[in-house]
Chains A and B, each alone.
Chain A
Amino acid sequence: MSKTIIPFGPQHPVLPEPLHLKLTVEDEVVTEVIPALGFVHRGLEKLSEIRDFHQMVQVVERVCGICSVIHAMCYCHGIEEMMGIEVPPRAKFLRVIWSELHRMQSHLLWLGLFADSFGFEALFMQFWKIREKVMDISESTTGNRVIVSVNVVGGVRRDLNSEQISWILTLLKEIEQEISALKKTLLTDYTVTKRTVGKGVLTKHQAYGIGTVGPVLRGSGVVQDTRTLGYAAFNELNFEPVVESDGDCYARTKVRFRETLQSIDLIRQAMSKIPNGEINVKVKGKPQGEVVSRVEQPRGELLYYIKADGNKNLDRLRIRTPTFANIPAILTMLPGMYLSDVPVIVLSIDPCISCTER
């Protein structure tokens, strides 16, 4: 059979973001994949030359349309480390609460989109219906739904009162029940297992070797979660990284599903341990030096390299997003798979192309 080249994306019904893959197929089996990126490059790193280091918090929040809190948190950790600022304990716990809420809404969004990628629209609607409750918590506590702007260098901008905490705990109980009710469908339904089990297998050795991060790496059996480093207040909370060993699309789905429930548990723990006190400290001076800051985003490890030379503008800001590390995984998983499985496998890494291109 002769080779045929099929373009996949950047506009494709199943893709939420513009990723272009040039697929070489032989008799409906993919033999080679060449990715093409750069459709949504915005030059946000370059903006650090004209925006001061305080304003860059709002800029880096816009790197990713889904997990703004975690980007801002990573940047603030870097600047705070460079300037020697000690963030108040309450602010650390609040950062954990909002970052875990964001992990939840990102995973729920992905679980819905993933169900949609293999045609299970009813499940997609159910997950997005649950996600709305998380968005409501986000809007009422921070002021905005997605780009929440709560982190600043030196702490956070908003506080939670006891009424809000008890309201969030009630809603979390409902959310937990609703997510658990979908567990049987997501993990045992014939439609789901038929389309995901054994598709896009990435062995433990391969996953580690090509440098994947986050749920892709943990779905292949490698225990690696940046939260275990104990940044913000994670060192005071009890949790174990969620790991599955099969390395296929089904394992990655299970990892994200279990992580959503884990996030609920982490928020509860953080709310029970949150101390009273200040939520931010006044920042004086300008950053100088260089620092690497790492946090765990819903898609994996996020890395910021910040270099400053004592001016209000940064010298260099480099952002390595998790999808950038996970794109080689697509190229390893796709050869040998049927063309009809490509959308499912591509979505299984949870690609965030806007993040990758910055």
Chain B
Amino acid sequence: MFTFTSNILKNFLSQRATRRYPFETRSPFDGARGMLLNHIEKCNLCSICAVKCPSQCITVDRKASTWECDPFACVYCGICVDACPESALYQKPEYRQVAEKREMISLKGEIKKKVKKETDNGIESE
């Protein structure tokens, strides 16, 4: 009986365990994988990210030179970031904010060089 009393007294005298969210927020950890963004000026529209994405949230149209991402379908795995040969894709440590409307991230880029296609036997030019 009363095995928890000392703990209750300790909690009365110590600091609060919770934060007054949303007025007080914790800064994100450095390595946290938050929202996915693209430096479109570096992007070569090679579409490796679209192929590798497990949730298929990225669509690349090489003819129209567009890179599109559905942020609501993104699962924050970061596979596309690891796979990007131009290091154009990156993830911010902050999470995406709540939105009222479902909006696609649509960016206009340009193809700068020939895309190298990765195969089982090595890398081949397209």
Contacts and interface: CB of A to CB of B under 8 A. Distances in A.
A162 to B, nearest CB: 15
B58 to A, nearest CB: 13
Grouping DSSP codes into helix (H, G, I), strand (E, B) and loop, the B interface class, with mixed when no group exceeds half, is loop
B77 A140 contact: no
B76 A126 contact: no
A43 B104 CA distance: 26
B52 interface: yes
Contacts of A284: 120
A157 B82 contact: yes
Interface residues of B, number: 23
Interface string A129-150: 1000000100111111001010
Given A139-B32, A140-B29, A140-B31, A149 B7 contact: no
Interface in A283-315: 284-286
Interface string B2-34: 011001100000000100000000000111110
Contacts of A139: 29, 32
Given A149-B77, A158-B31, A54 B120 contact: no
Contacts of B54: 51, 55-59
A123 interface: yes
Contacts of B109: none
B79 interface: yes
Given A55-B54, A58-B79, A144 B4 contact: no
Prevailing SS type, chain A contact patch: helix
B75 interface: yes
A321 to B, nearest CB: 20
B85 interface: no
B71 interface: no
B78 to A, nearest CB: 7
A123 B4 contact: yes
Contacts of B77: 58, 147, 149
Contact of A147 (B30, B32, B75): B75
> Which one of B7, B52, B82 has the highest number of Cβ atoms from chain A below 10 Å of its Cβ?
B7
A141 B33 CA distance: 10
Contact of B17 (A54, A129, A142, A285): A129
B7 A140 contact: no
Contacts of A189: 1, 3-4
User: Interface extent on A, as a size class?
Assistant: 20 to 34
Contact of A122 (B8, B33, B55, B78): B8
A144 B76 contact: yes
A188 interface: yes
Contacts of B76: 143-144, 147, 149
Nearest to A57: B54
B50 to A, nearest CB: 12
A185 B1 CA distance: 9
Contact of B31 (A56, A123, A141): A141
Contacts of A158: 31
Interface in A180-230: 181-182, 184-185, 188-190
A143 B4 contact: no
Interface in A158-196: 158, 181-182, 184-185, 188-190
Given A139-B32, A140-B31, A182-B7, 5 more contacts: A122-B7, A140-B30, A144-B32, A147-B77, A189-B3
Interface of B: 1, 3-4, 7-8, 17, 29-33, 52-55, 75-79, 82, 91, 120
